[in-house]
């Protein structure tokens, strides 16, 4: 037998064998480790290697170690909120001013009305889409469905989206009735000589009811095609009711346009309330954080 120790090789040269580990000594690349110092620990504790302290990427993808939140839910930027509220509110204020001052827009409105008015049975059916008895039940069904699904999923404050939709819907008569009394605009020659036709309550009811139903149901749909169908169906209902009201002679065109603006403001407010509710739920849900897969 040879009494000389085995050669360990030189730097850069071939290594004939693994180095012998001395008891109680750790490897240089595992500072603070106890025991044998092997990077592959058998005591069940996490490895003290750069991989064990790995940071997640900027997107926070699930499955990284240590656990990081999943992808954040996207919400509309708050910087666009003044534009979405201010532009329709400005147009509504302009039309209201023209109605009160009997401005030149009213003469153009009368000419357009004479071109469009042609009462028939179909236009009357379209106008009925803005009735409270038709539009409000659609919103009620969407609100109940959203509340039941939220409750079944164990969502905290599952009733909040439905309550917000009901409050916004109640704002329609609370705003329209005083405006009708204030402006006291007479109706078209087709309807009896009465006043209080500005803005159109039927148009505002249709816009908020059908638009609110879309906002409640849209997050529940996974398919992009289904979302488009829902949005286009609601837009067709609102436009159909608006066309029927003008065609039948129940309202001047400016009455309808003003109600579009009013409905847009209310829907933006409802969208903001629903976004805050969703953000609060996602922030408080324990399942929003995902660990290693």
Asked if residue 199 has a cis previous peptide bond (ω within 30° of 0), the answer is yes
**Rounded to whole angstroms, how far apart are CA atoms 231 and 234?**
5
pLDDT computed for residue 14 by the predictor: 52
- DSSP per residue, 237-269: HHHHHHHHHHHHTSS-HHHHHHHHHHHHHHHHH
- pLDDT value at residue 155: 81
Q: What distance in Å separates the CA atoms of residue 24 and residue 201, rounded to the nearest whole number? A: 85
Residue 186: strand pairing partners: 195
pLDDT digits (tens, 9 = 90+) for 149-187: 988 888 888 999 999 999 999 999 999 999 999 999 999
List, for residues 45-61, the tens digit of each pLDDT value: 555 555 444 444 444 44
Question: Can you give the pTM of this predicted structure?
Answer: 0.69
Residue 219 pLDDT: 87
- Residue 56 confidence (pLDDT): 46
- Taking the C-alpha atoms of residue 71 and residue 84, their distance in angstroms, rounded to an integer, is 27
pLDDT beneath 50, residues of the chain: 1-2, 4, 9, 12, 24-38, 51-76, 286-293
At 247, give phi and psi (nearest 5°). Answer: -65, -40
């Amino acid at each position: 037998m040879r009494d000389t120790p085995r050669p360990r090789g030189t730097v850069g040269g071939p290594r004939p064998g693994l180095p012998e580990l001395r008891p109680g000594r750790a490897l240089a690349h595992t500072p603070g480790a106890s025991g044998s110092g092997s990077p592959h620990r058998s005591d069940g504790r996490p490895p003290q290697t750069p991989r064990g302290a790995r940071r997640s990427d900027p997107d926070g993808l699930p499955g990284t170690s240590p656990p990081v939140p999943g992808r954040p839910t996207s919400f509309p930027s708050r910087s666009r909120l003044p534009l979405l509220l201010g532009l329709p509110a400005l147009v509504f204020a302009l039309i209201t001013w023209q109605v009160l001052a009997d401005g030149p827009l009213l003469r153009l409105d009368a000419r357009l009305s004479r071109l469009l008015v042609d009462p028939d049975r179909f236009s009357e059916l379209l106008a009925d889409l803005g009735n409270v008895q038709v539009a409000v039940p659609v919103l009620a069904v969407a609100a109940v469905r959203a509340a039941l699904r939220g409750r079944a999923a164990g969502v905290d404050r599952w009733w909040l989206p439905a309550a917000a939709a009901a409050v916004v819907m109640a704002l329609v008569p609370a705003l329209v009735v005083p405006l009708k009394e204030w402006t006291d605009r007479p109706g078209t020659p087709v309807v009896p000589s009465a006043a209080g036709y500005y803005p159109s309550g039927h148009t505002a009811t249709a816009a908020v009811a059908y638009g609110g139903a879309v906002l409640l149901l849209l997050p529940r749909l996974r398919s992009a095609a289904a979302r488009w169908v829902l949005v286009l169906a609601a837009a067709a209902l609102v436009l159909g009711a608006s066309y029927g009201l003008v065609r039948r002679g129940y309202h001047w065109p400016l009455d309808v346009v003003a109600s579009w603006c009013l409905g847009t403001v209310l829907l933006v407010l409802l969208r903001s309330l629903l976004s805050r509710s969703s953000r609060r739920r996602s922030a408080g849900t324990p399942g929003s954080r995902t660990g290693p897969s």
